Amino acid sequence: MGNLDRLQLLIQFTKEEPENPFNWYALALEYINSDPEETTGIFDELLKSHPDYLPTYYTSAQFFAGQNQPEKAKQIFESGIDLAEKLKEIKALKELKNAFQNFIFENDLD
């Protein structure tokens, strides 16, 4: 399946099940290297409309860090860590904390 076919399929999934955060997350991942503006909109909407969808936090924080938006990335990492603690998702919590520490170090943040 080519990228265009996969993109069209994911768009169809978001139309069929707009309330399913995984469909939007998968669409954001598909756009991540080709359309940063579209990716930004999808991640922003996911974080707003589905704040309990934990996978969004790691990936979107990394994305916004790469888009030279360190303050936004920092806030997303912190929110993701809080959510992982609340949900008692130990593996995700460790991954988020590790990525956040690397992010802080790489960006000389305190």
Amino acid identity, position 16: E
Largest CA distance in the chain: 44
Q: At what angle do helices 3-16 and 21-31 cross, to 10 degrees?
A: 150
Domains in the chain: boundaries = 1-39, 54-110
Tell me the pLDDT of the chain (110 aa) as tens digits. 566 688 999 999 999 999 999 999 999 999 998 999 999 999 999 999 999 999 999 999 999 999 999 999 999 999 999 999 999 999 999 999 999 999 999 988 76
Query: What is the per-residue pLDDT for 107?
Result: 87
Query: What is the per-residue pLDDT for 54?
Result: 97
In angstroms, how far is CA 102 from the centroid of its own chain?
17
Provide the b/e sequence for 16-30 (b: ≥16 CB within 10 Å). eeeeebebbbbbbeb
Amino acid identity, position 52: D
